Structure 1
């Protein structure tokens, strides 16, 4: 025996899927933008003399590495935003708070890496560039998709 609650659950699920797809599309475009922005900023920093050399192995972070890491963590942000869209009554506010805390935590590794001051400052700046692209875009998208 079907009830009206069954219809509402199915309709709600379809609505969430539609909203999540829109969020994911917006998020992926923003992720590409963040990848380009961080890679360009890293290239500019490198041209200004930042070597991006890590002290332990003496390895230098390659420019494509900035795009890959930015892309990966941007997708993590999109997944967090989609989860909040599904399970939070105030997804945009929760996302901004969560992303802000995670951004602050992401600043710790450059600070403790032992890299020179220029590399450390550039890495912190690159984290903030990616956050400046992703957080407002996803927050705005979440606000536009609230039930």
Structure 2
């Protein structure tokens, strides 16, 4: 009785052998998907908060329209995708650098929420929405960057 072993050659896809292969989509496609998901999530949560009585109005009375949550989240998430793409090509440890940078930028994004003159409920909700968006986009991109 002889046994035959088959080795998977370099460059051969694992799916040809019936194995589960990790997703091979480019970084930007994963990033776009995460950006869209974050935009939907922040918009839905902002709508729920607004319905619960959070005003999103500053001390001058100017409020944030619900559509702005989707727009700003999408644009800034796409900036994060660009940042990840640049770091993937130019930085020695892109995952570590990307995570550290995005954590710092997320923390900096709280500053306007705390200084513009929002009431406590609005500021806390805005900060939570920043964290929700970051929790969706940053891990999605980070796990696709080299250690």
Residue correspondence of structure 1 range 82-97 to structure 2 within 5 A: 82-97=85-100
TM-score (normalised: structure 1):
0.80
Given the alignment, which residue of 99, 103, 107 partners 1:104?
107
Give the corresponding residue for 2:62. Answer: 59
Give the corresponding residue for 1:41. Answer: 45
Higher helix share: 1
Given the alignment, which residue of 23, 28, 32 partners 1:28?
32
Q: What CA RMSD, in Å, does the superposition of the two structures yield over aligned residues?
A: 1.2
* Long gaps (5+) in structure 1: 1-20
Q: Structure 1: how far apart are the matches of 2:66 and 2:36? A: 15
- Tell me by how many angstroms 1:115 deviates: 1.0
Residue correspondence of structure 1 range 107-118 to structure 2 within 5 A: 107-118=110-121
Q: Structure 1: how far apart are the matches of 2:93 and 2:73? A: 26
Q: Aligned pair count?
A: 123
Residue correspondence of structure 1 range 136-147 to structure 2 within 5 A: 136-143=139-146
The C-alpha deviation readout for 1:45-89, integer Å capped at 9, x for no partner, is 111110111223x22111110000001100110111000000012
Runs of 4 or more, structure 1, over 3 Å off, are: none
Which structure is larger by alpha-carbon Rg, 1 or 2?
A: 2
* Long gaps (5+) in structure 2: 1-24
